[in-house]
């Protein structure tokens, strides 16, 4: 006695997109996917800062057309350089777990001394 059994082609299993094993975390696509997953979970990270900078950049560029000129951007970088140097110095202190509150007062005192020695006493800037 033989039975009539219908032979069908095997159906490949469907991929579940939520399965961790099929997610590709490599490359730029994985980085973008991880970023959106973090934003959806509520971890905004640096997103508010970036959005705020873009808003400020847009407002100032619309108010003053010279804002995005090369000379103004160079001036902005020069103005930020002192704060950047101080920030680089304090990072080393903060990385070892120390807290140094005197950085602001010392930088203010040093700039006042350089200004006084340079303008009033006539010293060269390098020596002041």
pLDDT at 46: 85
Contact 105, 115 (CB under 8 A): no
pLDDT at 1 over 60: no
- Is 123:117 a contact under the CB 8 Å cutoff? yes
pLDDT above 60 for 72: yes
Query: For the chain, what are the domain ranges?
Result: 26-64
Segment 14-47, tens digit of pLDDT: 666 666 665 666 778 888 888 888 888 888 888 8
Sorting pLDDT into bands at 50, 70 and 90, what band is 79? very high
Residue 99's pLDDT band, with cuts at 50, 70 and 90, is confident
Secondary structure of the chain in HEC code, one letter for each residue: CCCCCCCCCCCCCCCCCCCHHHCCCCHHHHHHHHHHHHHHHCCCCCHHHHHHHHHHHHHHHHHCCCCCCHHHHHHHHHHHHHHHHHHHHHHHHHHCCCCCCCHHHHHHHHHHHHHHHHHCCCCCCCCC
Q: What is the mean pLDDT of the chain?
A: 84
pTM score, two decimals?
0.48
How confident is the model at residue 112, as a pLDDT? Answer: 93
């Amino acid at each position: 006695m033989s039975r009539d059994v219908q032979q069908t082609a095997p159906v490949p299993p469907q991929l579940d997109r939520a399965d961790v094993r099929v997610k590709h975390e490599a490359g730029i696509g994985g980085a973008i996917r991880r970023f959106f997953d973090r934003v959806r979970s509520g971890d905004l990270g640096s997103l508010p800062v970036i959005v705020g900078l873009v808003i400020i950049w847009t407002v100032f560029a619309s108010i003053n057309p010279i804002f995005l000129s090369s000379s103004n951007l160079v001036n902005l970088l020069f103005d930020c350089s002192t704060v950047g140097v101080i920030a680089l110095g304090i990072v080393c202190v903060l990385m070892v777990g120390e807290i140094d509150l005197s950085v602001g007062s010392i930088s203010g005192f040093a700039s006042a001394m350089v200004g006084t020695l340079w303008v009033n006493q006539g010293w060269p800037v390098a020596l002041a």
